A and B are shown apart, each in its own frame.
Chain A
Amino acid sequence: MPQRTVIIGSSQGLHARPAKLLVEAAARQPVQVLLSIGDGRPVRADSMLSVLSLGAVAGSTVTLHAEDADGAERALEELATLIAADLDAPDPAVPGATDA
């Protein structure tokens, strides 16, 4: 099963907005992708509930597992990039999101 390990880039961890963006991206993939933290049980990356339940904080390492099928590598690449990015970085529409 193709895997990829990545460090969470968002300062809030996988909560709120970053979690929502990840879940949406995972749902768009042609293959099922799971997410695990440490030795924990992998959970569905396209489930907000599951992603939240990981309680993944900033800087922790998570592992993506893709179903071994066409598009797996690309799915891992896209989701790993997303997780590594600072997704709760300044959102223009959010008053005081990171400013101030």
Chain B
Amino acid sequence: MPDLLEGIGVSPGQVAGPVLAMGNPPVLPAVYPVTDVGEEVLHAERALTAVCEDLRARAAFATTATAADVLLAQAELAIDPVLRDAIAARIRRGQDAPHASHDTFAEQRAMFTAAGGFLAERAADLEDIAHRALAALLGSPMPGVPAPGHPFILVADDLSPADTATLDPTMVLAVVTERGGPTSHTAILARALGLPAIVGCRGALTAPDRGLATIDGTTGHMRIGVTETEAAHVQAHAAALRAGLSNDRGPGRTADGHAIDLMVNIGAAADLSAVDLTDVAGVGLFRTEFLFLDRTEEPGLDEQTHAYAEVFAAFPHRTVVVRTLDAGADKPLPFLGLPDEPNPALGLRGLRTSRLRPEILHTQLRAIARAAAGATADVWVMAPMVSTPAEAAGFVQQVHDHGLPTAGVMVEVPAAALRARHLLRTADFLSIGTNDLAQYTMAADRQTGDLADLLDPWQPALLHLLGACAVAAQDAGKSISVCGEAAADPLLAPILVGLGITRLSMSPRALPAVRTALARYTLAQCRRLAERVLEADDPAHARTIAATDVHAL
């Protein structure tokens, strides 16, 4: 007989499927005597290797590339030879593998914490790996979101923001937590992704042992131990509903059909090999630095032309926005011959490098124009790190002189944002790089981890500047996009649209979640959301506002 569990429905929708629990950190078992030291050492090594492999597998499924990088670095820590040797030494001194592992990780963590700064931040990574190693040693499920390779209903005590870094909306059918309320992180995330969700659902953690379950995110009902027939019935019903919404495919649009161009950020044609481009509006940021890295001389005209043509060919009749070389004292390229600077973030970088080496920009524009001439892609060109209308006008003129009709500038400096209206007298479009704009708006170095809170794209000051640019672009009847990290945040996307942004460009992997989130709001709802968020006191408050139920808008 199926059992009915009741909680608070916080995100509507009905699904059915197998249930998997979020893995909790395992408990250290009692000390046990080791009879075969050699076998115990091997046991520990196998566990660490399994942790490494699991982390690498998770990296492959991570929803953002940043999350993937974090997981890959953690995977490397799990098979660290120094850790491995220290654990083996403890086992040889008579400890059992779980305690040897636990104590070794604890010791390293204490060293990292004592060192402070960057290393102290890594202490949490070590703790996570220690939990995983213990799980592997005990044969318990790995902590974190399961990755079984098939869609499932996720149950957890509660979800933290870190837990959701690898939550894949194409694999997780619904989320049910035992704790949490309507404004919990789980509820916010589920609504952003359009996943049915129930919070405050007592007994949910017993569901994984009971086979299939059905979820109703409106009533807050979870039925566990249902038959395959019942599950199939609910699934068919859900599939029909979903087909009507068609959220998970197609071009980007709001719930009322207002088009938002969803584009991808890339560095070279090779990045596109594994990407399904069907519903991609084009490339919103084509970084050209790759071609220039590790070079003692500037790449020649033919080599550049070829590389650009490759990317243009992948987007017939679609837009490709090329960013000219973005290098400088902070991202040095030997052939630029730039002087050392005490404060590289404020120095010769981006378009400013052309003050010293104008011929490099000239060659690059020639190559882009040649490649564009042989392609059907609509090629736009923009300059990084523009501060004044005069710089914008000079760049736009150069681009037009090369026969390229669409020239824009990136808004990364507050001065540029404040004068967006004037930039648009010559520029054909604007593209906002939120990472650098945050750095310069908050006077917080992007390389300084301790200031991450100031660099949060939810800072109302940053959103305010974005809104001002969007208004200027609307008045000028010109395109405005966001291509920084903010565009990849599914919670922030409706707010950016509400501020007046019409194009979002992100890592290809972030696109499905952003598309799904956008389709949940009408344009009017996006605007009301944006208005409220601009009034927020701080990023946390802004996120709380974003968690408002869509129907209350």
Chain A: interface secondary structure? loop
A44–B76 Cα gap in the complex (Å)? 14
Chain A proximity of B330: nearest CB distance (Å): 6
- A89 close to B (CB within 8 Å): yes
Contact pick for B119, options A11, A53, A91, A92, CB 8 Å: A53
A28–B68 Cα gap in the complex (Å)? 22
B contact residues around A92 at 8 Å (CB)? 265-268, 270-271, 287, 290
Interface residues of A, count at CB 8 A: 35
Question: Which residues A48-68 have CB closer than 8 A to chain B?
Answer: 48-50, 52-53, 55, 58
Are A96 and B485 in contact, with the CB atoms below 8 A? yes
- A1 close to B (CB within 8 Å): no
A97–B67 Cα gap in the complex (Å)? 12
A95–B66 Cα gap in the complex (Å)? 7
Q: What string of 1s and 0s marks CB contacts (under 8 Å) between A63-100 and chain B?
A: 00000000000000000000001100111111111111
Q: Which of B267, B326, B434 is packed against the most chain A CB atoms within 10 Å?
A: B267
Q: What string of 1s and 0s marks CB contacts (under 8 Å) between B58-94 and chain A?
A: 0000001110111011001100111100000000000
Chain B proximity of A54: nearest CB distance (Å): 10
Are B326 and A99 in contact, with the CB atoms below 8 A? yes
A55–B506 Cα gap in the complex (Å)? 31
Chain B contact-residue range equals 35 or more
A contact residues around B404 at 8 Å (CB)? none
With both beta carbons as reference points, the residue of chain A lying nearest to B275 in the complex is identified as A93
A63–B76 Cα gap in the complex (Å)? 22
Are A100 and B65 in contact, with the CB atoms below 8 A? no
A92–B68 Cα gap in the complex (Å)? 13
Question: Which residues B88-127 have CB closer than 8 A to chain A?
Answer: 108, 111-112, 115, 117-119, 122
Are A99 and B81 in contact, with the CB atoms below 8 A? no
Partner-B contacts on A (CB < 8 A)? 9, 11-12, 15-17, 19-20, 23-24, 43-44, 46-50, 52-53, 55, 58, 85-86, 89-100
A-B contacts, 24 listed (Cβ < 8 Å): A16-B70, A19-B76, A47-B80, A47-B81, A48-B73, A48-B76, A49-B77, A50-B80, A52-B122, A53-B112, A53-B119, A85-B293, A89-B331, A90-B287, A91-B69, A92-B265, A92-B271, A95-B65, A95-B485, A95-B487, A95-B488, A95-B510, A98-B326, A100-B412
